[in-house]
Chains A and B, each alone.
Chain A
Amino acid sequence: MPLSSEEKRRLEEKAHELRNLSVDTVVWAGSGHIGGSMSAMDIMTILHHKYMKIDPKRPAMPDRDRFILSKGHIGVGYAPVLADLGYFDKELLKEYNHTGSPLGMHLDSKKVTGVEASTGSLGHGLAIGLGMAVAARLKGESWRTYVLLGDGECDEGEVWESAMAAAHFKATNLVTIVDRNRCMIDGPTEEVMALEPFADKWRAFGFEVVECDGHDFDSLAAAFDRAHAAKDKPVAIIANTVKGWGIDFIAGDYKWHYGGFDAEKTAKAKESLARHRDARLAGAAGGAGAAGKGGGK
């Protein structure tokens, strides 16, 4: 179902708030994976604030939907999402990375409420998610599992072992999302290790592929609606995004995979985010092209 304008506005405001909280978290932490946090924020926002059946007051609720952050390095993006939902005290974000804090660069499921799996070693998440999906079906339960992967992460062989198995086991209650920001650490994905034709690879492994604009809530909603209607093939959503979306001086620049902000950069980042939020709310072209510099060069 298309989003109502009210719902869209609510999601835009929430994503904006979370991006700002993520910038603050990077400052509190000293540094962090800001680029991949910004590219994934709209995806995480629509999942947690529209689609996922979750109750932060009952984090162990048996029939909750599961979210696995396979690209586990964006703790500074994901922890704000959980804190804002009330899984833990937002104040804790101020101790991010401090010695003895439960919050480190990669979130630990034993220490951070709401985190379903301790990730950070890339390539593991889809297998864990598939295991959960298969378990749900075996137990006759209707919850879904969502797995968010990085595109660089898809270099890992294990991703494709899991993909083959997901199609084989017809895991239609598993939703695979790839944050296609076209950047990894050492450079653009197509220069370091070419992924294209990327959608065809997923198709060849037995998936139905839905491509969408990962910074446009209408486009994301259509993709998730399609995934939820999966009949006999699992769905992979390739969300085209921009690394560092919304922060002009880092957008599309692979060198901003990881970094820190001084006071001046923080102010500039927030000013840039506000500008892009306004543009999106005004209904101006808000998609991947608008806030980035040519898709990850």
Chain B
Amino acid sequence: MACTGCALLCEDIEVRDGEVRHACRIGTAHILNRQQIDPMVDQEVVDIDDAIRRAAALLADAERPMFLGFGNSITETQATGVRLAEKIGAGIDPCSVHTSLIDDIVHSRVKTCTLPEVRDYADVILFWGADPMNTHPRLMSGYAYYPRGKNRQHGWETDRTAIAIDVRRSHTASICKEMYEIVPGRNIEFIDALMLALRNKVPKTVYDSKRVLKLAGTLKKAEFGVIFAGPGLVGSVPRGAIIRLMDKLNEFSDFRILPLYSPYNLRSIAAVDTAAVTTATTVMADAACEHPGGCTPTLASLREADCLLCVGFDLASSLPQACDIDASIIVIDPSETLTAGCADVVIPCAAGGVDLAGTAVRMDGAKIDLPCITKNGQTGAGARTRVSDASIMNRLLEAV
């Protein structure tokens, strides 16, 4: 079975007698627990049919509806969500700083690879603004560092060089052979310095130029280099900077990039080829603009909407300031979220890969089947059978 605890979608999961095998801490907690919530309208518990009817009425009346999330939904739900968005003229914002990089990967503006290719061929691996030990706990052991691969028979000991570039000495950084510490907000200067160093020029920079030159030397010698780009990188530099860096690296060696984000099916929704899906300036990318204080467009773009549909995305947790906006809020989520506490309509649903079968796209583009693990998303007593978000979306589509 597959785990939908993060975008790695590990496929070797076994669940027997309420015990989860092979999953990491996040995966185990994701599979076994669910903070289930009742359907609600105006914060009062109602029948699920009433909640769906109310949501349909709000969406039908909305003049400027906006959908947020879908990264934690199976592909089938996303497809119906896109049809619903197109029918009522809503935009879909996956609310991730990674959507533009996914767009660049899907449209071959940067070179990428699959996770098995990382395992078989990668010799230089960069974790940039990423801490997979805390976000994708099985990445290092499954693909990126420890395993032996076709051309990397000696694994991490001699065949791979892992390098962390981050604002913080993370757990991942402590495992890597080298760590480059970024001054908060100054990732772009590190990229500029590295680009110069790649051309054998000594960069004038706030960073230690000798070390930057050493890094450039290591990257140039890479046979198969991979950058795992975390939110600390993609959320803090302009989109074009990553493309330029990848182009420069590929003048000297063979470098690929893979985005490291958590929502298990973000790649699928970000790659949907429709005007409805925003990939350029998402709410979160806006929020992560480089200059603290220059971020007001974020709430402004949300404030333009008169109805927000949050699907598997906790807006109030990511942008607490959004609690005060005037738009009506509809939440569809397998778990209790903070947003549910300020929503006009709350519709609980089944969780993809847990009590709902479907498909998803892994972070490297591989299509993964998600069988059902449990019947009701909760292994203990008091478990309830839950409606799939795909069927909720279908009913909304029919009703509006």
Verify that A and B bind, or say they do not: no
A interface residue numbers (CB < 8 A to B) = none
B interface residue numbers (CB < 8 A to A) = none
